[in-house]
Amino acid sequence: MMVKELLRSHTSVRKYTGEKISKEVVRDLIETAQMAATSHFIQAYSVIWVSDEEKQQKLGELSNNAFQFQTAGAAFLFCVDFKRLQAAGKKQGVEIVADSAENLLAGVADVALFAQNFVVAAEAEGYGICYIGGARNKPAEISTLFDLPDYVFPLFAMTIGTPTKRNETKPRLPLDAVLHENSYNTEKYDQLLDEYDALLEKYYENRSSNKKTANWTKQMADYLIEQRRPFMKEFLASKGFTWK
């Protein structure tokens, strides 16, 4: 399949055959992902391959997503990592300034690019994946489970495996809602969001599984009406990131 066709066919997969993914495949996919671009070459990521069955189930429970971990062929925890950069500084006799809002943003961007290249490589091999942001529900417990040191924190987990079936793709926002030319235009949103709500209502009513009555603006309003994971700032501070 051509790369563009592959990207356009992405859907999250939450049920797998249970067939385990070999160490060779895991190492190959991670090494491939490492070639993603990285802010200032900092490579500020680490990934925990959760090959221990008990730990895999525990990660699923702590993430409130136990279901997809039960049949996954492998599970991973993707982390922002400035610990190794601290070691690099030490080797040069320097105490690095890890704790800054700028480093936090650079680290998050690095992990996202690394993870997404992993996803594309995995999907090209016929695997399905699901990102698990639910890993941020219990970040302190998860950090303990995997012995994460200071300057390392979990950004998301991921399940991967051979899909039992593939869902139809989920329609994204109209192109012109996300594409602005030369200057930002808020005026177009009223009409485009109406169009998108109508499109998604149809999609949810007609899709092959988990049919429901829903639209995008209502989903987003319900999700964002309150502060999500209000403990996060304090957790990040406990890991050494106070947004200086």
Ligand X SMILES: Cc1cc2nc3c(=O)[nH]c(=O)nc-3n(C[C@H](O)[C@H](O)[C@H](O)COP(=O)(O)O)c2cc1C
Residues near ligand X (CB under 6 A) are 10-12, 14, 65, 130-134, 156, 170
Decide whether 22 or 219 has the Cβ nearer to ligand X: 219
Q: How far is the CB of 50 from ligand X (least distance, A)?
A: 15
Q: Where are the extended beta strands (E) located within the chain?
A: 45-49, 74-81, 128-132, 152-161
Residue with smaller CB distance to ligand X, 182 or 206 = 206
What strands, in cross-sheet order, belong to the sheet with 128-132?
45-49, 74-81, 152-161, 128-132
Tell me how far, at minimum, the Cβ of 133 lies from ligand X, in Å: 3
Q: How far is the CB of 106 from ligand X (least distance, A)?
A: 17
Q: Which is nearer to ligand X, 68 or 143 (CB)?
A: 68
DSSP state at residue 163: B
Q: Tell the smallest beta-carbon distance from residue 53 to ligand X (Å).
A: 20
Q: Which run of H or E residues covers position 30? A: helix 23-33
Which residues lie below 8 Å from residue 15, measured CB to CB, with a gap of 6+?
A: 67, 68, 71, 163, 164, 165
Specify the residue, 11 or 238, whose C-beta has the smaller distance to ligand X. Answer: 11
Closer CB to ligand X, 168 or 234, in the complex = 168
Q: Which amino acid is at 88?
A: A
234: part of which helix (H) or strand (E)?
A: helix 232-238
Name the residue number minimizing CB distance to ligand X. Answer: 133
Give least dist CB 156 to ligand X, A.
5
